[in-house]
Amino acid sequence: MDVVNHSIKKLILLLRNKNVMHRFLLFIMMIFQISAFTQTDYYVKDSASFSGVNMVEGTDYENSRLCKIKADDKTISYTPNEVKEYGFKNGRIYIAKDIPIGDSSVRVFLEILTANKTALLYYKGKRMKTFFIAKDSTFFIEIPKQSKDGKTIVFRAFLNNAMSDCPNIKDPISVATYKKKALTKIIDRYDECIEKPFPFFKYGLNLSYGFSKLLPNTSDQLDYYNLFDYRYEPEYSFGLFLDKPISFSDFSFHFESNLSKVGYSYNFQMENKDIDLLINTTSLNIPLLIKYSLPLNKVRPFFDAGMVYCYNFKNEQNIYEALINDSVIQIYDVSNNNLITDNQTGYVIGMGMEIKLRYRNSLFFELRHSRLFSIQDEPVLHKSVFQLLTSINF
């Protein structure tokens, strides 16, 4: 970090040269120099800098204790008292710093998670992890997770107090977790101080009302099954959902577990035969979706798509044929239990909007379409569903 800062300072001095062409050439040369340096392993020892070395990257705990360099067949280890700074070509940078642990001060390596206006640094000990905020050469303070007695979570209150100059950060802090990615995102939002949604884990309840219709296979072997007038029938469902952001972006994994119930009743007449098809199913539906929400504050339109698994644990299928000869009616039960299989899979697509009630709570409305296919060698009937879902997260 010190080496990069030194290069940047040198760049600023060179840019003060009055010759415009000379300034431009120097600017290009220095940018390449800084870029090349930060894309390779390096370490800084005393006043000497070493780049292009082969660093050994360990766990967070190992990196906080030692800087390791592989030379030939040996691994050389340096303590924070010997090395000021080191970094990997993947962008991870560590600096040596004295921090309080218990009643003493210990020199360790801190990982720099973000270093814009406000820096966030991370330390992983044997049985602990902690974060630090640094704003300039005089402001360096730990972000405590819990109170000293370990009974109260205090890091949110601490951040609210430390970042009180930005009112837009209060709501994001209220849903933040004491983890690398979450706190890095909080620091970035604090530096921007712009009001926009902060991704966080959601869970809640689903209720839906929709219409379901059976779709016959186009096979010629279906006899009269493809002659019924398959209409949409009402379908009800309720269940739970989980929504987990993907890398704190506007994309998320959306998982649901819903119970649904629907009944189908169809009739077909031909010559002296009257045919009735009756199907009643109670099902467990498990959609797994990728969801994208627009980064708006009050009302957030969203789109989702993915796969769905359906288990029809109650699956009643009855077919009755009534033969009419003169005044005599004979009724036969010719039920086929393989019209809809117990297990079905398919796809789901949907679109809707999220309406924020409070920062942690929202109301969701979604129009969704799914297509389910029966799992067997020669499925007879598939299923098409349109739903209007209403959800609320806790």
pLDDT on residue 4: 43
CA nearest to 175, candidates 164, 189, 165: 189
Number of Cβ atoms within 10 Å of the Cβ of 229: 7
CB 344 within 8 A of CB 386: no
Task: From residue 137, give the alpha-carbon distance in Å to each of 118, 140, 141, 163.
Answer: 11, 8, 11, 18
3-state secondary structure 50-74: EECCCECCCCHHHHHHCEEEEECCE
Q: Where are the domains of the chain?
A: 202-268+279-315+340-393
Length of the chain: 394
Q: What is the CA radius of gyration of the chain?
A: 32
pLDDT on residue 37: 52
- Angstrom distance (rounded) from CA 176 to CA 202: 12
Mean of per-residue pLDDT scores for the chain: 86
- Angstrom distance (rounded) from CA 343 to CA 78: 59
Could you tell me where the beta strands, DSSP code E, fall in the chain? 42-45, 48-51, 67-71, 74-78, 85-87, 93-101, 104-115, 119-124, 129-134, 140-143, 202-216, 233-245, 251-270, 273-293, 299-325, 328-333, 343-356, 362-374, 381-393
CA nearest to 146, candidates 129, 125, 166: 129
Mean pLDDT of the 219-245 span: 84
Which residues have CB under 8 Å from 74's CB, separation 6+? none
235-286 per-position pLDDT tens digit: 999 999 999 999 999 999 999 999 999 999 998 887 778 888 899 999 999 9
Mean pLDDT of the 55-78 span: 93
Task: From residue 298, give the alpha-carbon distance in Å to each of 63, 127, 256, 326, 371.
Answer: 42, 41, 24, 69, 32
SS3 200: coil
Mean pLDDT of the 324-352 span: 83
111-122 per-position pLDDT tens digit: 999 988 899 999
Higher pLDDT, 16 or 254: 254
Range of 116-120, 192-196, 223-227, 361-365 with top mean pLDDT: 361-365
- Angstrom distance (rounded) from CA 22 to CA 15: 9
Query: What DSSP character marks residue 1?
Result: -
| Global confidence as pTM | 0.80
- Angstrom distance (rounded) from CA 299 to CA 293: 10
pLDDT on residue 102: 80
Q: Is the pLDDT confidence value at 7 over 70?
A: no
pLDDT on residue 13: 43
pLDDT on residue 169: 95
pLDDT on residue 236: 95
- Angstrom distance (rounded) from CA 49 to CA 14: 21
pLDDT on residue 219: 59
Higher pLDDT, 85 or 330: 85
153-168 per-position pLDDT tens digit: 999 999 999 999 999 9
- Angstrom distance (rounded) from CA 287 to CA 348: 7
Q: Is the pLDDT confidence value at 16 over 50?
A: no
Burial group, residue 285, by CB count within 10 angstroms (0-12, 13-18, 19+): buried
pLDDT on residue 377: 62
Which alpha helices (H) appear in the chain, and where do they start and end? 2-14, 20-38, 60-65, 155-162, 170-175, 180-192
Tell me which of 3.90.226.10, 2.40.160.20, 2.40.128.520, 1.20.140.10 is the CATH number of domain 202-268+279-315+340-393.
Answer: 2.40.160.20
Q: Is the pLDDT confidence value at 22 over 80?
A: no
- Angstrom distance (rounded) from CA 112 to CA 64: 11
CA nearest to 125, candidates 140, 110, 105, 136: 110
Q: Is the pLDDT confidence value at 234 over 90?
A: yes
- Token duo for residue 127: 């049985």
Which residues have CB under 8 Å from 142's CB, separation 6+? 99, 100, 130, 131, 132
pLDDT on residue 135: 83
Mean pLDDT of the 328-347 span: 81
185-219 per-position pLDDT tens digit: 999 999 999 888 999 999 999 999 999 999 887 65
- Angstrom distance (rounded) from CA 335 to CA 340: 12
Query: How does residue 64 score in pLDDT terms, banded at 50, 70 and 90?
Result: very high
Q: Is the pLDDT confidence value at 344 over 80?
A: yes
Among 30-44, 90-104, 132-146, 287-301, where is mean pLDDT lowest? 30-44
